């Protein structure tokens, strides 16, 4: 084929459907495409061209598979799961783990209980049947990030993040917590027990199932220690670290947390009470398959999404 012919072909391919005489999509189609492409962080013009007569919402599943959409979603999840940027690459494995799960179409719970390893020099992820069933919670980078400062080495910060990430637990400790006796005995004081011992999500009991912080300063690191079963979550006997995360991701709270995250990603704000029907449809879809793609699509494919004011 001559260079000219090749050029012409490239030109035709670039022009796509319009070259073949297709109409420019109407205004509602453009608006809906713009909305979806902005949410997913994919190119608007390319998305519009890829429609080829189909409705934008019928393309959601395909667009969700694009690298850009997956990267956008991974960045969003990372921001929701982490209170601040990590100190180094090794502490920033969450976004890579999300990309791995979504790209490989694994159930969302695998993010938290999958057996995979994160290479901390490049955040490349490999499946590893010998790894603990702890997803990124099992990585040294993540554990180091949330070692915390408790004098007894209990990783209270990691315990809290584990529950915040999986079931959306939200506790607001006050700055005064650091005052006075902060040891386990100190945390049993009336003003501390509410969060540390007396709640179904008692931080101290949950932290006892995790590795412990050993060493100080730059040498501080997590170390796996023998643990004894703890009774948490209103009477559940939890055996160890792996069992803890398994229990968390098997709860209804995990379904709700996931559909809240999906809603926030799609709408850019938390859901309100009048959106309960949509929220329920997400929970049903997600409970059925366990796929985050189905949670996201339940909102993105809903007619309401493209009717809503941008
Ligand atoms: C409203 C709930 C709440 C109350 C009340 C509370 N804490 Fe906490 N505490 C937390 C949470 C959540 C964390 C994990 C903090 C984080 O991840 O930033 C934590 C962490 C800690 C840590 C570990 C800090 C670290 O950096 O590793 C200590 C020590 C602690 N709390 C002591 C106390 C003491 C002492 C009191 C009472 C004076 C108290 N807390 C009251 C919620 C609470």
Residue 305's Cβ-count burial label (10 Å; 0-12, 13-18, 19+) is buried
**All residues at 6 or more sequence positions from 67 whose CB lies less than 8 Å from its CB, including other chains:** 103
> How far, in Å, are 13, 92, 106, 116 from residue 6 at the CA level?
10, 45, 40, 45
Distance 207 CA to ligand 1 centre (A): 12
pLDDT of residue 1: 44
Whose C-alpha lies nearest to ligand 1, atom 21?
156
Predicted local distance difference test score (pLDDT) of residue 103: 98
Residue with tokens 């509410």: 194
Token pair of 307 as six digits? 């009717």
Instruction: Encode burial over 90-105: b for 16+ CB neighbours within 10 A, e otherwise.
Output: bbbbbbbbbbbbbeee
Tokens of 68: 């850009």
225 touches 212 (CB < 8 A): yes
Number of neighbouring beta carbons within 10 Å of residue 238: 22
pLDDT for the residue 7 = 52
Taking the C-alpha atoms of residue 198 and residue 92, their distance in angstroms, rounded to an integer, is 32
Q: Residue 13 C-alpha to ligand 1 middle, in angstroms?
A: 59
Cα of 173 to ligand 1 centre, how many Å? 6
**Span from the CA of 224 to the centroid of ligand 1 (angstroms):** 22
Closest to 306 in 3D by CA, of 32, 25, 30: 32
Distance CA 86, CA 121 (A): 14
Print pLDDT tens along the chain (310 aa): 454 454 544 444 444 444 444 578 899 999 999 999 999 999 999 999 999 999 999 999 999 999 999 999 999 999 999 999 888 888 899 999 999 999 999 999 999 999 999 998 999 999 999 999 999 999 999 999 999 999 999 999 999 999 999 999 999 877 777 778 888 889 999 999 999 999 999 999 999 999 999 998 889 999 999 999 999 999 999 999 999 999 999 999 999 999 999 999 999 999 998 899 999 999 999 999 999 999 999 999 999 999 875 5
- Closest ligand 1 atom to residue 176 Cα is 38
Q: Are 292 and 266 in contact (CB under 8 A)?
A: no
> Closest residue (by CA) to atom 23 of ligand 1?
150
Res 108: pLDDT: 98
Contact 147, 155 (CB under 8 A): yes
| Residue of the CA atom closest to atom 40 of ligand 1 | 177
Smallest Cα–Cα separation from 150: which of 206, 200, 82, 81?
206
| pLDDT computed for residue 11 by the predictor | 46
Q: Is the CB of 148 under 6 A from ligand 1?
A: yes
Query: For residue 272, how far is its CA from the centre of ligand 1 (angstroms)?
Result: 30
Regarding the beta carbon of 189 and ligand 1, being less than 6 Å apart is answered yes
pLDDT at residue number 12: 45
Which residue in 116, 118, 154, 110 sits closest to 132, CA to CA? 116
User: What is the dihedral angle through the alpha carbons of 125, 127, 130, 131, rounded to the nearest 10 degrees?
Assistant: 40
Q: Which residue has the tokens 């501390």?
A: 192
């Amino acid at each position: 084929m001559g260079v000219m012919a090749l050029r012409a072909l490239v030109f035709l391919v670039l022009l796509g459907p319009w070259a073949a005489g297709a109409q420019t999509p109407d205004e509602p189609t453009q608006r809906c495409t713009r909305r979806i492409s902005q949410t997913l962080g994919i190119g608007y013009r390319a998305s519009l061209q890829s429609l080829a007569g189909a409705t934008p919402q019928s393309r959601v599943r395909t667009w969700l598979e694009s690298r850009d959409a997956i990267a956008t979603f991974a960045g969003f999840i990372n921001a929701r799961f982490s209170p601040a940027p990590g100190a180094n690459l090794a502490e920033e494995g969450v976004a890579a783990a999300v990309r791995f799960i979504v790209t490989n179409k694994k159930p969302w719970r695998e993010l938290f209980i999958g057996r995979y390893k994160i290479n901390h020099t490049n955040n490349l992820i490999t499946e590893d049947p010998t790894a603990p069933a702890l997803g990124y919670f099992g990585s040294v980078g993540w554990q180091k990030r949330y070692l915390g400062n408790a004098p007894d080495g209990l990783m209270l910060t990691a315990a809290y993040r584990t529950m915040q990430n999986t079931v959306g637990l939200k506790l607001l400790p006050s700055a005064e917590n650091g005052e006075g006796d902060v040891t386990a005995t100190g945390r049993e004081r009336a003003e501390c027990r509410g969060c540390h011992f007396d709640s179904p999500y008692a931080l101290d009991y949950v932290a006892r199932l995790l590795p412990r912080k050993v060493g100080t300063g730059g040498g501080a690191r997590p170390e796996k220690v023998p643990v004894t079963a703890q009774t948490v979550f209103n009477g559940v006997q939890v055996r160890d670290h792996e069992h803890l995360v398994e229990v968390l991701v098997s709860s209804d709270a995990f379904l709700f947390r996931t559909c809240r995250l999906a809603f926030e990603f799609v709408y850019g704000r938390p859901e309100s009470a009048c959106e309960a029907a949509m929220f329920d449809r997400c929970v049903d879809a997600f409970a059925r398959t366990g796929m985050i793609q189905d949670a996201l699509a339940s909102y993105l494919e809903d007619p309401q999404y493209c009717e809503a004011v941008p």
